[in-house]
Amino acid sequence: MKVLTQNTALATFGHTIPAAFFTGGAFIAGVSAWLIVKNRDVEMAKPAAKLGLVTMIVSFLLVFVSGDISSRVMTNQQPMKMAAAEALYTTQSGAPFSLFTVGTLDGSRPVFSIDLPSMLSLLSTGNTKGVVQGVNDLEAKYKVQYGPGNYTPNIPLAYWSFRLMIGFGGLGLLFALLALWRMRKGGLPKGRWFLPAMISLPFLPLLANSLGWIFTETGRQPWAVFGLIKTADGVSPSVAAGNVAITMIGFTILYGILAVIEFGLIIRTIKVGPAPDEPQRLETEFGGDTERPLTMAY
């Protein structure tokens, strides 16, 4: 029970579930836009599109709030991950938030950066003067604490996956706000490009979610369980490399087949469109069926 109720699990659960709704809302909006472009079930598609767009906006706000909570939890539990995400190499008080950084090819130091002063400290600690630990200081600390080794993740990968995650999610929010504004008063979005672009809207949260998982899993390295088990120590020496390869190939093929089937079913369902409403069968006061043909009777 403690595993399920730990602050990491609660924070990340509150982050991933709204992210799933963000993707679902974009999918509804995208399918609705396709129906409108094809001039099919337009009267049904317009309110459905609005529902999807509103879902995107509300869920993004929840993602933003839960993401802020998660970043503070990670700053306390896995400070190296957050330092790598910001390419912060030295411990600082009033640490800036990096909007754009160019580093050396090996990711060992920054060359050029554009920063927001004190913003990282505010996001990480809730205080503009808060102390945020840097990569180099944490590396030295971990070598003393855990022994010789390399405790720094791939900084360019962590840095850019974190920013692209935020960037694609932010683009999805902006598009949803613009589309909802253009559809005010029951109208359709104007512009030749808008509805076709709206069809591809689901790809933005999908990319954001994928990059978020890439950041989560690679930013934790070299740990499988931070501070307890390294990824290298998680390898089973009794399992042959051939067995691992066969398992990986098998799972890849299996999930590939399932993905093709699922994608095909989704496309087929979209093309068929919503089922037509069946007329309601009303009973007369004499128990008869109103849909039966009328006959003359005396």
Exposed (0-12), middle (13-18) or buried (19+): which is 236, by Cβ within 10 Å?
exposed
| Nearest alpha-carbon partner for 212 in 171, 151, 163 | 163
Name the more confident of 12 and 277: 12
**What is the DSSP secondary-structure string of 163-178?**
HHHHHHHHHHHHHHHH
**Dihedrals phi, psi of 107, to nearest 5 degrees:** 70, 25
Residue 270 pLDDT = 80
Residue from 97, 60, 32, 48 nearest 171 by CA: 60
> 10-36: buried (b, 16+ CB within 10 Å) or exposed (e) per residue?
ebbebbbebbebbbbbbbbbbbbbbbb
Q: What angle do CA 97, 99, 102 make, to 5 degrees?
A: 110
How large is the average pLDDT for residues 267-295?
Answer: 62
The overall pTM is greater than 0.85? no
Phi (first) and psi of residue 190, to 5 degrees:
-90, 155
208 with 19: CB under 8 angstroms? yes
> What is the C-alpha to C-alpha distance for residues 211 and 215, in angstroms, rounded to an integer?
6
Cα 92 from Cα 95, distance rounded (Å)? 5
At 241 the pLDDT is: 85
State the number of CA atoms in the 13 A half-sphere of 280 facing the CB: 3
pLDDT, tens only, 211-231: 999 999 999 989 988 888 888
Residue from 82, 76, 71 nearest 14 by CA = 71
> Quick check: 175 and 198 in contact, CB under 8 A?
yes
| 180: its two tokens | 């909802």
Confidence band for 110, pLDDT divided at 50, 70 and 90: low
CB 52 within 8 A of CB 11: no
Q: How far apart are CA 151 and CA 141, in angstroms?
A: 10
Does the pLDDT of residue 295 top 90, yes or no?
no
Mean pLDDT across the chain, nearest whole number?
Answer: 84
What is d(CA 31, CA 34) in angstroms, rounded to the nearest whole number? 5
- pLDDT tens digits, one per residue of 29-41: 999 888 888 888 8
Residue 261 has pLDDT above 70, yes or no: yes
